[in-house]
Amino acid sequence: MCGIGGLIYKNSVHEKKTGEIVVKMLESLCRRGPDSTGVALLHPKADNTLYIDVNYDKAGNGEKVINLLTEYVTIDQSSDHGSYVRAIVKDVDNEEELILAINNIDQDVSVASYGDQLEVLKFLGGAENLEAQFKISEYDGQVAIGHTRMATESKVDISHSQPLSCHTGKDLTIIHNGHITNYIKLRSKYENQGYTFITGNDSEVIAVYLVDKIKSGLNLKEAMEMSLEDLDGSFSYIAITPNQVGLAKEPFGMKPMVIAETDDFVAFASESMAITNGFGKNLSVFEPGSEEVMIWNL
Amino acid sequence: MESVKEAVFIDCEVTPLQEINEQIAEAAKQGVKEVIIENPQARHNLGVGITNPINLIYKGDVGYYAVSLCDYVTAKVEGNAGWAIGENLMHGEIVVEGNAASSTAASMRGGTVVVKGSVGARAGIGLKGGTLIVGGNVGYMTGFMMQKGKMIICGNAGKALGDSMYAGEIYVAGEISELGNGTEIVELLDEEYMEIKALLESYGIKAPPAFKKIICNGMLHNFNKKEFGIWKTIL
Amino acid sequence: MENNIIRKSKVWSAEKIEEIQEKAELGRYRIRGQATKRLDLPSFDDLVFTPAGLSRVALEGYREKCDTRVVIGEGKVKRPLVLETPIMVAGMSFGAINANAKKALGIAATRCGISTCTGDGGMHPVEREASEKLVYQLLPSRYGLNPYDLKRADAVEIVVSQGAKPGTGGTLLGQKVSEEVANMRDLPLGVDQRSPCRHPDWMGPDDLGVKIDQIRIATNYEVPIFIKVGAGRVYDDVKLAAKAGADAIVIDGMEGGTAASPEIQLDHTGIPTVAAVVEAAEALHEIGMKDEVKLIIGGGIANGADAAKAIALGADVVYIGTAMLVALNCNKSLYVEDYKELGTIPSACHHCHTGKCPVGIATQDPELMKRLDPEEAADRAENYINSITMEMQIFARSCGKSKVGDLDPTDLRSLTMNTSMITGVPIVGMGSRKPYWARYEHSTETKELVTK
């Protein structure tokens, strides 16, 4: 139902810009996911900086978001993309308060992601739309991982597009291919525990699950390994934090993922064609087995 | 080898319920003669499921289910008891110095329960054996669906006395508000009275001069019989 | 006179007429066994599964795993009850059925890794030996209750009422009170036994909490404690049972079986199992205890479809009683003459209350008992349990679930309006959508009418 394409550079040897490669990967994955495209970018650590991205639907709400930001924080950069607000801000007194305030602006307004280093950008349609809005190809940082969406059971709109984060999870975002079939059970359990879900998309529960497990003391690898037991259905998913990138594949190996790894980078994609397209040449790829979790430290 | 203690003391004020019961059970298992339970403060479930011989002395009031589901236990409550004291007792003896609440000796199977004061409703409900002695009055539905055993009541009895009893005997010295369904009063033989008197006196209770004896009259025994007159009153 | 057409009446049907005339003879209500014979009840048959297609991926029927294990009391008691498949044999008393039947069920349950239940008659040694996991019922009657059996139980089920006749107690007619039954229950021989409808020593949910504490102490905090209620005011009862401290709640729907009950009650008390399960699950969700407290649902469960649908609607385990007896031989076409003598035929027999069970299950008569060989019968029961497990797995896998317990209400659709309203499951077709032409027509949409 979706396409995943991403790249992690291990050192400063970038044969091409990270963003450039990932956009090309996502372009070739459009057939797998024509409904929307999104990407998670990792920025280097900087003091007093918060990346914040907000979904909205109704015309005029983008303006309201930017106005609210002006009230609460110092805006470094901000842009309104018609259904998405991208902002880089400083001097945040109370993150929780800020997130709550933004979500309260209107029913269709919700914070898509916030982080000290992670930024999520998404748009409807194919990779070329995403590129036109955000100039992803100019990004040359360490990690860029993207997603092309084919909606299976939930709405086609920006808020339901991936990458997805947990409402109370900073600097953690996930990208999922597949369908979590025990979504209802898990969502009701987490809602009882106080977590808020902002979409009807089953992928969102993966982010909540990981945030919850990490809160209880597990590290990312342990949480992802446990998820292989606790999540039912088909999935390959990637979890990104400022320090690690993890990949998990369920026991039945139903959703594809190939990996190309060299001394300089790790690239992965749902189809090897995406890797070829991204790099402009054939690379040696392998497909990890099922019921596996792989972690790369950044 | 450490000699077995004569007595163990438990202070309920500072001991959680699970531990109180565990300590009593352990003492009984070890063959300790007596456990003195201080400051019971009418808590529930003091002394549940003890199946080894032991003597329990409660220094105060107890709540629900004291000395319940026990076997071979003797106990004395120096105060009042809540609901269902002696519930399902199999062998043993319990004496309550004060009053007891409802469902006293519910489903008791054997042994003796003595309440020197009065009790609430449903005393001896579903009695399956043993003897219940009440020095004072008993309330509503005493001996309901009694199957075996004996009840000796020195005071008055409330309504529906012995209703639907299958077998067994109830002796009442005072006023009976109302007999339950399926019961009748029969003659009390002299020997029976002497036995009752001796039993009461052994517990320091003065025996009243006379008792009425109530037993099952067999009229509820078979549905198939077409005794519509009886069924009209039951249904 | 015109044509001699025989016109049957619905109001004065042959059944109604016979009922009235029998009562004119008896002077009381009719008593019989089995379960309600109403033909008009909503049931699980009105629901269908919507398996994976493109939006979800199905799992391979023979190769890919499908977990069926359920644990009750995990993290709460020292010895949780582990069931290898989400089925338990429901409580049927020794008295209602005999030792051969108890032994057969015990052997089958042990082989399948599930439990049996004592029923309203005390713990019979034959059952304790044959059954590796035995649930001990604590009922208003307290027949056979003693602390030793409590300590030997693998779970304790406090019974408030049963589905066939919620609000009343058990019945065992004199002809089935044999010497052994009379001894176990401390009753006179051959006398009609009526159990009380309330427990003798607790009268409401407030006292129940204290009673549960007592049972926990008596069982050394080792085993899970269930509360069983016949399906009536399910929503309220489930909340109260959960708050009182139960580890699992059993709800028995109106299709639940019995060995002897007033017939008028079978047909007119309680609510159908398909309705009870959704109420119960909703109640637990509302108080946030759905994961903590397990839900066991029974009442007319006959096959893997019923079981899987009950689980999809929120049950964790299904209780099966009558169907187990049918697997043993109940209503089988054997000894047909004896069925005739009772006034019935195989497939329509409900005469458990007579004590003359033609296949030797619901009787204490030693001659009739010879007709049920425990070992052979155990094989039949085991086969039946395994077949249900396989059926449940078919549904789970086809819906893309690797655990039967992951089935949920969104995997179902309803074929009828009635059951859709009862369960909240959308009706098939346009049940959850508005068609494109709805705005062209001026007639009010059915859904709008219904919501009003």
Beta-bridge mates of residue B230: none
**C12-29 burial string, b = 16+ CB within 10 Å, else e?**
eeeeeeeeeeeeeeeebe
Do the Cβ atoms of C57 and A179 come within 8 Å?
Answer: yes
Do the Cβ atoms of A182 and C406 come within 8 Å?
Answer: yes
Q: What is the mean pLDDT of residues A46-53?
A: 93
pLDDT band at A178 (very low <50, low <70, confident <90, very high): confident
Q: Give residue-wise pLDDT tens across range C205-241.
A: 888 999 999 999 999 999 999 999 999 999 999 999 9
Mean pLDDT is lowest, of B93-102, C50-59, C63-72, C263-272, for C50-59
pLDDT tens series, chain B, 235 aa = 566 788 999 999 999 999 999 999 999 999 999 999 999 999 999 999 999 999 999 999 999 999 999 999 999 999 999 999 999 999 999 999 999 999 999 999 999 999 999 999 999 999 999 999 999 999 999 999 999 999 999 999 999 999 999 999 999 999 999 999 889 999 999 999 999 999 999 999 999 999 999 999 987 777 555 555 555 554 4
* Chain C interface mutation, best of B148, B166, B220, highest count of C Cβ atoms under 10 Å: B166
C291 Cβ under 8 Å from any chain A Cβ = yes
**A190-216 burial string, b = 16+ CB within 10 Å, else e?**
beeeebebbbebbbbbbbbbbbbbbee
Token couple for A254: 């139903």
Token couple for C410: 């969104």
Strands C193-194 and C248-252: unpaired
**The pLDDT value given to residue C198:** 87
ipTM: 0.89
Give the three-state DSSP class for C283: helix
A232 Cβ under 8 Å from any chain C Cβ = yes
Q: Give residue-wise pLDDT tens across range A8-21.
A: 999 988 889 999 99
Q: What is the mean pLDDT of residues C250-255?
A: 96
Contacts of A19 (CB under 8 A, 6+ apart): A41, A135, A136, A137, A138, A139, A140, A144
Report the residue from C288, C400, C410 with minimal CB separation from A234. Answer: C400
In the predicted model, is pLDDT for residue A91 greater than 80?
A: yes
Q: What is the mean pLDDT of residues A237-257?
A: 87
Q: What is the DSSP string of C138-204?
A: E-TT-TT--HHHHHH-SEEEEES--TTSTTS--EE-GGG--HHHHHHHT--TTPPEE--SS-SS--S
Token couple for A13: 């040897």
Beta-bridge mates of residue C230: C252
* Chain A interface mutation, best of C397, C402, C408, highest count of A Cβ atoms under 10 Å: C402
Instruction: Give the number of other Cβ atoms within 10 Å of residue C38's Cβ.
Output: 12
- Give A 192-211 residues with CB within 8 A of chain C: 192
A2 is a catalytic site residue: yes
Indicate if the alpha-carbon torsion angle C338, C341, C346, C348 is positive or negative: negative
Torsion angle defined by CA atoms of residues A25, A28, A34 and A37, in that order, rounded to the nearest 10 degrees? 10
**The pLDDT value given to residue C215:** 97
Q: What is the mean pLDDT of chain C?
A: 91
In the predicted model, is pLDDT for residue A292 greater than 60?
A: yes
* Chain C interface mutation, best of A192, A193, A232, highest count of C Cβ atoms under 10 Å: A232
CA distance A74 to A76: 6
B163 Cβ under 8 Å from any chain C Cβ = no
**The pLDDT value given to residue C447:** 58
CA distance C157 to C227: 6
Q: Give residue-wise pLDDT tens across range C279-301.
A: 999 999 999 899 999 999 999 99
B235 Cβ under 8 Å from any chain C Cβ = yes
Report the predicted TM-score, pTM, of the whole model to 2 decimal places. Answer: 0.87
Q: Give residue-wise pLDDT tens across range C142-156.
A: 999 999 999 999 999
CA of A294 vs chain C CAs: smallest distance (Å): 22
**The pLDDT value given to residue C133:** 97
Report the residue from C55, C402, C406 with minimal CB separation from A185. Answer: C406
Do the Cβ atoms of C26 and B107 come within 8 Å?
Answer: no
Q: Give residue-wise pLDDT tens across range B93-104.
A: 999 999 999 999
- Give A 37-96 residues with CB within 8 A of chain C: none
